[in-house]
Structure 1
Amino acid sequence: MTALPTRTLGDLTTSAIGVGAMVLSPGMYGEIDDAAGEAALRAAVDAGATLVDTSDGYGPDGHNERLVGRALAPVRDEVVIATKFGFRVPDGEPAHRFEVGLEFGELAVNADPRLVRGYAEQSLRELGTDRIDLYYPHFPDPQVPIEDTVGAVADLIAAGAVRHLGLSNVDAATLRRAHAVHPVSAVQTQWAMWHRPEPDLLDAADELGIGIVAWSPLGSGFLTGAVSGLAADDFRNNIDRFAHLQANNDRYAPVRSIAAELGITPAQLALAWLLARHPHVVPIPGSRTPSHIVENLDAARVRLGDDELARVDAALADFVPQGTVDVFGGAS
């Protein structure tokens, strides 16, 4: 395993860039077989990634967790496995539905504390491991106080089944309420050149010593500069900004030009820029291609000077994407 620079998420240390595994299950970016998914994860670990992010809701019937577990079994003690719960609602239990600004539907979750131990036991079986390193409720349940959900995870931490608590897709007030019950190591939020978190969420995380895990740091692949069209079964067809792909690619061209001048890829520039924005942010880009994974991870070694950051920020000030950005998406 090649060593990458590291960062801290609360009291948890990981590689400065991790890997989002969502794209390795079928039904997200089109079809993929398990052999290719496992090869992608092995390439990530070989290149130095020590944080791999999954969820009980990625892929059909726990597929993503099983894939991650198989691929990481030989290096289990060398990696941090993060997973999320609340989407795979057990039969007979109510699914609490709520709108989150999606263009293509609503979410259904259940984070009832009575179910959390069962969720964890299921994920442990799927992952083939005896502990979850970082455990998140995938979304706050509109019917369940966050204190109750966090209290159930705290019980799992006390029992040794979970090592660290995370929160995902929450606001600053919810983060503060959760942290008052049990220390939160990381908060996962969407953060990329074309979508920024609310400043008060970042302020709360800084104040409480909580790290930031940035999902979709490459704008679902757009910020790689390589997306010119989508397959019919690609979930990104549901994202409004991809309906205006040519216009947005034109608007993004100045940023791509800066990357070319610096001798790095647009993806590396997007990730290096994000790392420069906060000392405790860990992006989790996803890719199915081993060479692209290695390229993304190499961005952890890119250092942007003040003048270079100023140029990028000036270009981004003029980069106003057409269309809305999906707030659910994935870690890619």
Structure 2
Amino acid sequence: MSSEVAYRQLGRNGPKVSALGFGAMGLTTAYGNQVSEAENHEVIKAAVEEGCTFIDTSNVYGPPMGKNEKLIGELLKDPSFRSKVFICTKFGIHFSETGLEISGKPQDVRRWCEESLANLQVDYIDLYYQHRVDRNTPIEETWNELKKLKEEGKVKYLGISEATEEEIRKAHAITPISALQIEFSPWTPDIKENGILKACRELGIAIVAYSPLGRGFLTGAYKSPADFEEGDYRRANPRFQGEAFKENLKLVDALKEIADKKGVTPAQLTLAWVLAQGDDFIAIPGTKKIKYLKDNIGSRGVTLTSEELQSIDEIVNRIKVVGERYDAVLHGMGAF
């Protein structure tokens, strides 16, 4: 199998970026025990060396806020490394005294952009996303401020995450959206049915699929909720609980059967399926371990036949995932 780097265009008028990127959230957030900064740096550098140069983070990934950006910033301060990386970060979710909140107020947008520039140690952000839409602030106000930041050269391209079709259209009317970041995988294929994918294609907006491996579940590595480390947020996620876990294994097993027949891993099959949805799809799996990074990179050499794609689609349509994507606290904002 060839592992040649594939590229996808970021929106209608954007640059070509690596189709397989790297989601950095798990290096500091949500997924159990953390590793050292040096180990995290080795994974990021290995991803970039392998051509996964589309790197995704957010100002909220910590704790504390900014920790993930600062981790990456220690590498980006080297001009030779910065020149290889297309850096993406996000704003909008923040910690308050009462927990996680969302803001799209113009003054917050600008302040967070300046903080992210400092954390990342860069002069500009390649792709800046509204992480979640603040439904108490008119989206036009948020995007007028983003338009100013773009005009000032602080950001090159703009994106939005987990937005509705109406919100996407309103924001795009202010200034072009280059990318929609949204959860997408065989166990979260919603955008294919709810009109969002159709709208993005009409407007020329690329799809950046986060959690393309179903938060690791679709790799087949987990057989029981007890397999998750202490502090791993999946222990409290509805899809990973009790009977839901058992039911959702049916999807994993069905995909693994196809992967085994093809001689690839479930992760490689799944990523190949995500990227086969169209030339406007980009996938950003994340990992703390180089061995899993190499497994993901192996997906670049996987070509799915029309019959295989049809078989996977049939499985996705037939086996319905049990459980909400998030627990009650996070469900309302659709974090992370």
Q: Report the counterpart of residue 268 of structure 1 in structure 2.
A: 268
Would the aligned equivalents of 1:112 and 1:144 in 2 still touch at CA under 8 Å?
A: yes
Corresponding residue of 1:70 = 74
1:238 counterpart = 2:236: yes
SS of the residue corresponding to residue 264 of structure 1 reads: coil
Aligned to 2:204: 209
Displacement of 1:329 after TM fit?
Answer: 5.4
1:161 and 2:154 matched: yes
The answer on 1:44 being equivalent to 2:42 is no
For residue 86 of structure 2, what is the aligned residue in structure 1? Answer: 80
Distance between the aligned counterparts of 1:196 and 1:78, measured in 2? 31
Match for 1:221 among 208, 216, 219?
216
Deviation at 1:207, TM superposition (A): 0.5
Q: TM-score, normalised by structure 2?
A: 0.89
Displacement of 1:3: 5.6
Structure 1 residue runs without a partner (length 5+): 98-105
User: Take 1:110 and 1:260, find their aligned partners in 2: how far apart are those partners?
Assistant: 46
Deviation at 1:145, TM superposition (A): 1.0
The CA distance in 2 between the partners of 1:281 and 1:251, in whole Å, is 22
State the distance in 2 between where 1:23 and 1:33 align: 13
Counterpart Cα distance in 2 of 1:117 and 1:81: 18
Given that 2:104 and 2:134 are in contact with CA atoms closer than 8 Å, whether structure 1 keeps it comes out as yes
Q: Which residue of 1 aligns with 2:283?
A: 283
Please report how far the alpha carbon of residue 148 of structure 1 lies from its aligned counterpart in structure 2 after TM superposition: 0.9
1:253 and 1:3, CA in 2 relative to 1: closer, same or farther beyond 3 A? Answer: closer
CA contact (8 A) 1:26 1:33 kept: no
Q: Could you list the runs of 5+ residues in structure 2 that have no partner in the other structure? A: none
Offset of 1:67 from its aligned partner? Answer: 0.8
Matched, 1:118 2:111: yes
Deviations 1:39-58 (Å, cap 9, x if unpaired)? 11111101111111000000
CA distance in 2 between counterparts of 1:282 and 1:131 reads 22
Deviation at 1:107, TM superposition (A): 4.6
CA contact (8 A) 2:182 2:208 kept: yes
Aligned-residue Cα RMSD (Å) equals 1.9
Q: CA contact under 8 A between 2:126 and 2:155: conserved in structure 1?
A: yes
1:36-79 alpha-carbon deviations (Å, 9 max, x no partner): 21111111101111111000000112100011112344411111
| Alpha-carbon distance in 2 for matches of 1:182, 1:318 | 39
Stretch of structure 1 that moved more, 66-75 or 184-193? 66-75
* Match in the other structure for 1:183: 176
SS in 2 for 1:260: helix
| Larger deviation, residues 312-321 vs 297-306 | 312-321
- Of residues 107, 114, 132 in structure 2, which corresponds to 1:139? 132
Q: How many residues align?
A: 316
Q: Structure 2: how far apart are the matches of 1:33 and 1:12?
A: 33
Q: TM-score, normalised by structure 1?
A: 0.90
2:322 paired with 1:322:
yes
State the identity %: 37
- Please state how far the C-alpha of 1:110 moved relative to its aligned partner: 1.3
**What is residue 253 of structure 2 aligned with on the other side?**
253
Contact 1:255–1:316 (8 Å) recurs in 2: no
Match of 1:5 in 2: 6
Paired with 2:321 and 2:204, the residues of 1 have a C-alpha distance of: 32
Indicate the SS of the match to 1:258: helix
> Separation in 2 of the partners of 1:158 and 1:64?
26
Q: CA deviation at 1:242?
A: 0.8
1:8-23 matched pairs, under 5 angstroms:
8-10=9-11, 11-23=14-26
